[in-house]
Amino acid sequence: MGERNAMLDLNQLASEINEQVVTWRRYLHENPELSFQEEKTSQFIYDTLLSFGNLDVTRPTKTSVMARLIGSKPGKTIAVRADMDALAITEENVSPFASKNPGVMHACGHDGHTAMLLGTAKILSGLHDQINGEVRFLFQHAEEIYPGGAEEMVSAGVMDGVDLVIGTHLWASLEVGKVGVVYGPMMAAPDTFKITVKGRGGHAALPHQTVDSIAIGAQIVTNLQHIVSRTTDPLDNLVVSVTQFVAGTADNVIPGSIWLGGTVRSFDQTLRESIPVKMERMVKGITEAHEAEYEFEYQYGYRPVINDHEVTRVIEETVLEVFGEEALDLMKPNMGGEDFSAYQQKAPGAFFYVGAGNVDKGIIYPHHHARFDIDETALENGVKTFLHSIFKFFG
C-alpha cells in the first residue's frame, strides 16, 4: 500500500505542475537559440532553478547549467540530462508561441526536454528530505553540432562521482502515451566525410580535353554503395549516405573540381574504424584510373549510444508500473546520433523515448522539419518517468 501511495503522490505532483511545464516549454519554443549560443536559454534555466530552493546551481560551461540536489541521507548519485539547443530552421507552424527568432526553431523537441527536467527538478527540490543520495540535473548545450556539449560538460566534471545517468528524447514517430525502451545499442555513431575530386576543367563540347570531375564523382558515389552491400557483413548495422554533391557553374563548362560529402552510421567500433580505410582506397583507385587527384576528409562524430542492461531494466519496470503494459514499446535501434553517449563513458546509463506524435491532432511531421511539433501531453509522461525512475534507482 505504501508503494502505491508513493506512486499516486508522484503522479499527482506531476499533474499539478504540468501547466507550468507546458508554459516553460512554450517560452523556450518561442525563444530558441542555436548550439553554443544558448546564453538567454541557459540564464532562464539558471534563474528558474534558483527559484526552487534546495539546489546547488552552477554553470559548468558558458551556456550549460547543472543543479545538484543533495538528499537527507547518503546514497547513489543519479544524473539526469536534458538538451536545450535549437536548429537553423525557419518555423512554418502558426501558433501563439512560434519562434520569434528568424531562421531558428526548436524542431527536435529540446524545448520539451528542458521543460520536463525543470519540472522534475522543481518537484524533487521539495522532496529533498525523502532522497537518500544525490540527483544531478544536467541542462546541456549544443547537442546538435559536433563536438557537442556533452563532451564539454563531462570534461568540466559534471559526471564526477555519478553512479548512473538517464536521459530521454521526445519522439515524433512514437504515439503519445507510449514510452520507447531499447536494450543495448540504441543510436549510432554519426561520422561525416568530404571528398574533393580535382580533374581538369574545360569546354563541355570538348570533353576529351578535360578530366571530368563530375563523371569521376558520380563513379565514386556509385561505388561507395558497395561498402555496405559488398564489403560489409549483412548482419552488421551500417549506413553510408552521400548527402551533398557540389559541382559546376555553367551548362557549357566541365568543372575542374567537385566535392561530395555525407555521413556514415555504425555501432561496432572495429567496423567503424574500417570504413574510412575502405572509402579512401576506393576513391584513390577511381581517381587514379582517370588521372585525377583527390582529397579525403573523415571526421569521427559522437560515440554510439549503448544502453546499460540494468539501468534499462529499471526504466522498463517503471513504465510498466506507472503507465501499464500497453504503454511500453520495446523498440529497435536506429541510426540517428546523440551525444548522450559521452555521459555513458563515465557511468552506466540508459536513454529512452517518450512518444510525442498524434495523427489526430496533425502532429505528424518528423524531427528537423519546419512544421515539427509535439503533443504536449507527452511532457507529463516524461516527468512521471523521470520521477519514478529516480526513486526506483534509489531503492
Q: How far apart are CA 244 and CA 56, in angstroms?
A: 46
User: Exactly one of 85, 338, 375, 376 is catalytic; which is it?
Assistant: 85
Write the DSSP assignment of 51-100 as a string of letters: HHSS-EEE-SSTT-EEEEEE-SEEEEEEEEEEE--BBS------STT--S
Q: What is the DSSP string of 105-117?
A: B--SSHHHHHHHH
Give 208: exposed, middle or buried? Use CB within 10 Å, 0-12, 13-18, 19+.
exposed
Any catalytic annotation for residue 56? no
CA separation, residue 193 to residues 12, 262, 300 (Å): 49, 6, 9
Residue 143 catalytic? Answer: yes
Sorted by sequence, the CB contacts under 8 Å of residue 250 that are 6+ apart come out as: none
- Give me the amino acid identity at 349: G
Catalytic residue among 91, 134, 143, 329: 143
Residues 262, 242: contact at Cβ < 8 Å? Answer: yes
List, by residue number, the catalytic residues.
Answer: 85, 143
